[in-house]
Copies of this chain bind each other. A is one copy, B any other.
Amino acid sequence: MRVVRVGVIGCGYWGPNLVRNFARHPHCQVEAVCDMRYERAVRLGGQYRVPMITDRPDELLHGRELDLVVIATPSFTHHKLAKAALEAGKHVLVMKPLATRLSDAEELCELAGRLGLLLAVDHTFVFTGAVRRMKQLIDAGSIGDLYYFDSVRINLGLFQTDVNVVWDLAPHDVAIMDYLIGHEPITVSATGASHGGSPTENIAYVTVRYQGSLIGHVHVNWLAPAKVRRTILGGSKMMMIYDDMEPSEKLKVYDKGFSIATDLSVEKEYQQMISYRSGDMHAPQLDTREALAIEVDNVIDTIHGKAELVVNGRAGWRVVRILEAAQRSIEQGGGVVRVAGAPVVGVA
């Protein structure tokens, strides 16, 4: 198997995890690392004795034989760097979000397609044991018709000034939602607020309507005192809760549902009518391998022609599409915004 030579641009928060996982892969070699802040590149590259350490992306792109370029820089630079890498003939893996404008995401997808290069997007959560299991259950029909997707991703963080909380945190939830639901979103409405003098929104609520009565909702917040990472997916047959803060039993599947009391006869007790019920719960054993390792495997296997890319540029584009609509709704004060290219259908 030919070794895949990897260059990583961006040695900040996520970069070390990327380098570690590519270094660990038996058919990979990390050949170059790059960071505008040279000392960060030196520190990370030194730990793994990476041959090329540089602070200039073009040096990385042109100064060394590379097969794959990994881009882990701030969001607003993704488009420009990914474009340059593709134009230099490299396969590309970009961190989320693929781009900060839908038109940029579109351009990258087209460029990769035209050049026959791989364009992968790091939607890490899609590779977790929990999300993959949820997908299996949905695909197997166990969940039934999907009713709602509700995701909360909140914690206390330092604010970022270049992007708001929607572009920072919501890509995770929207990527999970897109992967699991597999339907076309119709409209988005979102509300955000900024506090404490922050120039950007630090709390936001994003609602996505799909055809029929399927509804998605994402709550992202940089100002929450406790860390919550919880996704609920309700269906006609089963419901699932994925709580990433649980040390084990991250996924709980509730195998009995509810029943609609459409014929509440006088004889029926009001007490019964509103009684809280819950069926049996099942917490399946999950694959606990690091999600990023599985993602790296998938990218390398795709390059080797042995697998299909799980998160390609088009998936990245679909996430950007919703983020951009949410941004527009926030700017409009919460109004309902049609998703780009949404089919002309009604929501219930």
> A residues bordering B, Cβ < 8 Å?
12-13, 23-24, 37, 47-49, 74, 147-148, 150, 152, 154-161, 168, 187, 189, 191, 193-199, 203, 205, 207, 209, 213-215, 217, 219, 221-227, 232, 234, 236, 239-241, 245, 247-249, 252, 254, 256-262, 264, 266, 269-285, 333-336, 347-348
8 additional A-B pairs beyond A152-B152, A189-B189, beta carbons within 8 Å, are A37-B266, A187-B334, A194-B348, A197-B260, A198-B262, A223-B234, A224-B239, A282-B283
A287 to chain B, nearest CB (A): 12
A300 to chain B, nearest CB (A): 17
* Distance between Cα atoms of A232 and B155 in the complex (Å): 12
The 8 Å CB contact of A227, one of B47, B147, B217, B248, is: B248
* Contacts known (A47-B24, A333-B347); A156 close to B276, Cβ less than 8 A: yes
A158, B194: Cβ atoms closer than 8 Å: no
A206 to chain B, nearest CB (A): 10
A228 to chain B, nearest CB (A): 9
A171 to chain B, nearest CB (A): 14
Contacts of A236 in B (CB 8 A): 195-196
A281 to chain B, nearest CB (A): 4
A137 to chain B, nearest CB (A): 13
Contacts of A272 in B (CB 8 A): 158
The 8 Å CB contact of A259, one of B49, B158, B191, B275, is: B158
The 8 Å CB contact of A217, one of B196, B205, B248, B333, is: B205
Contacts of A221 in B (CB 8 A): 148, 150
B224, A234: Cβ atoms closer than 8 Å: yes
A33 to chain B, nearest CB (A): 15
Complex A-B: 13 CB contacts under 8 Å: A13-B271, A158-B258, A159-B258, A160-B264, A189-B334, A198-B260, A217-B219, A219-B219, A227-B276, A247-B247, A278-B285, A280-B284, A334-B336
* Distance between Cα atoms of A194 and B212 in the complex (Å): 10
